[in-house]
Amino acid sequence: MKNSLGREIPEEHSGNHGGFAGELAMIREYQERARHIRPVKPRDQKLLGSLREAIEKTGLEDGMTISFHHHFREGDFVMNMVLDQIAEMGIKDLSIAPSSIANVHEPLIEHIKNGVVTQITSSGLRDKVGAAISSGIMKHPVVIRSHGGRARAIATGDIKIDVAFLGAPSSDCYGNLNGTVGKATCGSLGYAMIDAKYADQVVAITDSLVPYPNTPISIPQTDVDFIVEVEAIGDPTGIAKGATRFTNNPKELLIADYAAKVITHSPYYQNGFSFQTGTGGAALAVTRFLKESMIKDGITASFALGGITNAMVELLKEGLVERIIDVQDFDHPAAVSLGANEAHYEIDANMYASPLSKGAVINQLDTAILSALEIDTDYNVNVLTGSDGVIRGASGGHSDTSAACKMSLVIAPLIRGRIPTVVEAVNTVVTPGSSVDVLVTELGIAINPLRSDLIAHFKELDVPQYTIKELQEKAYGIVGIPEAIEYGEQVVAVIEYRDGTMIDVVRNV
């Protein structure tokens, strides 16, 4: 069958909710999933002697679903540690539901081959794991979910977590956890908080056991069944890996300059506006240019949202941003700020971005800066597969924020090396074109025809403006028409839209 974007979704992969049918088509009342709880009595001990003992106490069995969070990013030790232990115990056929998968999780490939892991849902896949999945090593396709979509799936029971294994930078003996105290501080535990609230059982794994009660409490004792102390849960260097410095690349600076102009000349740029930027070089440059304008214009933002970097923290410190609303931190200064500044506030993934919550923060967001591996002439965006068709990116909050905020900007260079970014049709749709308002490239901008209000508003804007078709033609004019990818027949990943419908599939290469 074809979904509303015309993407072919094989019937057997159309999931519980059918094909994508529009951003708000599936926003319906529902019964939230409830946990099965094992109460803890007054003299019960939660602190156990080993990870093995914890796995045994949970009663983990073949076929169950376990989850992890990705706040340690490339510094994560927890997922490999737990899967190794589970494999050693002979447990098989598990579904894993990490909030994302990093390059450091390469050992996962062996666990897939050995039948320990047979199903995966994740925001994304990197490098070797992505390549292995794209080569077709799994019988069941990986389910790619956005951060908001994952929260939705957990709340509705589409993902039913039997046991969540949550790395905790600090814990007390009763399971009060946070990410701002300890040896491997990652800051916000926003993605883990959701697992803790909905999983039947939660095992906290920490390398910093602190006296009771551990505060601040990101995840409370009432959401944790067992605690295990280990030597190390993560590598602080890896946690901050990929955090970007300020760019000197003239192309990125030009994109950032155009994006900042779009924001500061938009109807939303006024006292109390709100924004989410991001972590790429150009995105950080937007933040800097925005800051200069805000100082000049005497404008402050009510809040900044999202994955947080030091650039945001500086805006907070300087009083240009009144609150940081934080679901994830991308560098050490951001993690430290969360613990130190009460205007820097931690939220969970449900509150950040779930389309089926009682109202996510992104619904209050004015503008968001988003990236793209590809964007096509219908404004559909691919942030997942590379130009070779291999999975190497992540859905992240892309489709969430772009759908919910008042003005979404996709910033991307027209071409990367010899590969066009603006194309006729993206290889893989993660975000539908209806969610993207403005494309910003180094040549200029294109405004989505759906936003006639913005087209009218930006008529006099001092930035070159094109149709997206013109930008695509310019890209092809420089590097030629890209060769089509030769996919196989096997579906290796299905891409859920944030509401649970299928927006696209990825086949093997």
Shortest distance, CB of residue 316 to a copy of itself, whole angstroms?
A: 12
Q: Would you give the end-to-end CA distance of the chain in angstroms? A: 22
Which of 267, 315, 319 minimizes the C-alpha distance to 291? 315
User: Is residue 409 near a copy of itself by the rule CB under 8 A?
Assistant: no
Shortest distance, CB of residue 167 to a copy of itself, whole angstroms?
A: 19
The 8-class DSSP code of residue 216 comes to S
Contact between 91 and 112 (Cβ < 8 Å): no
Coil/strand/helix, residue 321: strand
Residue-level length of the chain: 509
Residue 225 or 235 with smaller CB distance to a copy of itself: 225
Residue 159 or 239 with smaller CB distance to a copy of itself: 159
Shortest distance, CB of residue 379 to a copy of itself, whole angstroms?
A: 18
Part in contact with a copy of itself (CB under 8 A); list of ranges 278-286, 346-354, 443-451, 472-480: 346-354
Would strands 273-276 and 321-329 be described as parallel, antiparallel, or unpaired? unpaired
The 8-class DSSP code of residue 213 comes to S
Give 249's contacts (C-beta < 8 A, 6+ positions apart).
Answer: 281
Q: Identify the residue among 7, 17, 46, 73 touching a copy of itself (CB under 8 A).
A: 46
Which x/- pattern over 158-177 shows residues binding a copy of itself (rule: CB under 8 A)? Answer: ----------------xx--
User: Is residue 300 near a copy of itself by the rule CB under 8 A?
Assistant: no
Which of 25, 48, 31 minimizes the C-alpha distance to 502? 25
User: Is residue 484 near a copy of itself by the rule CB under 8 A?
Assistant: no
Coil/strand/helix, residue 124: strand
Q: With contacts defined by CB under 8 A, how many residues of the chain interact with a copy of itself? A: 60
Residues 214-233 that bind a copy of itself (CB under 8 A): 215-217, 220-225
CA 439 from chain centre, in angstroms, equals 21
Shortest distance, CB of residue 229 to a copy of itself, whole angstroms?
A: 17
Q: Distance (Å, rounded) from C-alpha 506 to C-alpha 332?
A: 35
Shortest distance, CB of residue 43 to a copy of itself, whole angstroms?
A: 8
Contact between 497 and 403 (Cβ < 8 Å): no
Part in contact with a copy of itself (CB under 8 A); list of ranges 139-147, 206-214, 385-393, 458-466: 206-214
Which of 473, 367, 460 minimizes the C-alpha distance to 415? 473
Which x/- pattern over 348-377 shows residues binding a copy of itself (rule: CB under 8 A)? Answer: --xx--xxxxxxxxxxx-------------
Binding site for a copy of itself (CB under 8 A): 24, 27-44, 46, 155, 174-175, 202, 211-213, 215-217, 220-225, 272, 302-303, 323, 325, 342-343, 345, 347, 350-351, 354-364, 403-404
